[in-house]
Homo-oligomer: A and B are copies of this chain.
Amino acid sequence: MVVNEELIGYIAAILTTTSFIPQCLKTLKTRDVSGISLSMYGIFTLGVLMWLCYGLLKESWPITIANAITAALAIVILWLKIKYTYF
């Protein structure tokens, strides 16, 4: 059986990127951030922004686009966590 490696990579990228949409919507709706780790979203957002730099430097559109979307979603969740915890 021939396994299409690139197809697996694209499906993986779509899944890990879109997975943050339900968390984002849930947090926007419920404002329940007590169980969400601030450290996780702080470190994760920084990491995804570095992946975005990596994608731009390598001129890789799949890495750049996937991480730009993930970064936007992670920043929203991070902001909601800070907003509903401290303000």
Once the chains bind, are B23 and A54 in contact (CB under 8 Å)?
no
How long is the Cα–Cα vector from A53 to B8 in the complex, in angstroms?
8
How big is chain A's contact interface, by range?
35 or more
Once the chains bind, are A54 and B19 in contact (CB under 8 Å)?
no
Q: Is A69 an interface residue (CB 8 A)?
A: no
Nearest neighbor of A15 in chain B, beta-carbon distance: B47
Per-residue CB contact flags for chain A residues 15-27 toward chain B (1 = under 8 Å, else 0) read: 1111110110011
Chain A positions 10-46 with a Cβ under 8 Å from a chain B Cβ: 11-20, 22-23, 26-27, 30, 32-37, 39-44, 46
Q: Is A50 an interface residue (CB 8 A)?
A: yes
Contacts A23-B37, A30-B35, A32-B35 aside, 17 further interface pairs with beta carbons under 8 A come to A3-B57, A8-B57, A9-B50, A11-B50, A15-B50, A16-B43, A16-B48, A16-B51, A17-B47, A18-B43, A19-B43, A19-B44, A20-B40, A22-B40, A23-B39, A32-B34, A33-B35
